Amino acid sequence: TTVCFKGCGTDYCRYILLLNLLLFTESPVSMLESPTKAISISKETTPEAQNAAQVPESFEHLPPLPEPPTLLPELVDKIRDTLPPQKPELKVKRVLRPKGIALTWNITKINPKCAPVESYHLFLCHDIPNNKLIWKKIGEIKALPLPMACTLSQFLASNKYYFTVQSKDIFGRYGPFCDIKSIPGFSENLT
Contact (Cβ atoms closer than 8 angstroms) between residue 105 and residue 157: no
Residue 16: what are its φ and ψ, rounded to 5°? -60, -45
**Is residue 161 a part of any domain in this protein?**
yes
Q: pLDDT by residue (tens digit) across 126-146?
A: 877 777 889 999 999 999 999
Cα–Cα distance between 26 and 40 in angstroms, integer? 15
- pLDDT tens-place string over residues 28-59: 333 333 333 323 322 233 344 445 545 557 78
CATH number at residue 59: 2.60.40.10
Total domain count, the chain: 1
For the question of whether the overall pTM of this predicted structure is more than 0.85, the answer is no
Q: What is the dihedral of CA 130, 150, 45, 108, to 10 degrees?
A: 110
| pLDDT for residue 26 | 33
Q: Is residue 83 part of a domain?
A: yes
Answer whether 169's CB lies under 8 Å from 120's CB. Answer: no
CB 102 within 8 A of CB 151: yes
Residue-level pLDDT at 40: 30
Phi-psi category of 172—alpha, beta or left, where left has phi over 0 and alpha has psi -120 to 50?
left
State pLDDT tens for residues 60-108.
Answer: 889 999 998 887 777 777 787 899 999 999 999 998 887 899 999 999 9
pLDDT given for residue 130 in this prediction: 76
pLDDT at position 141, please? 96
Q: Has residue 49 been placed in a domain?
A: yes
Structural domain including 86 reads: 45-184
51, part of any domain? yes
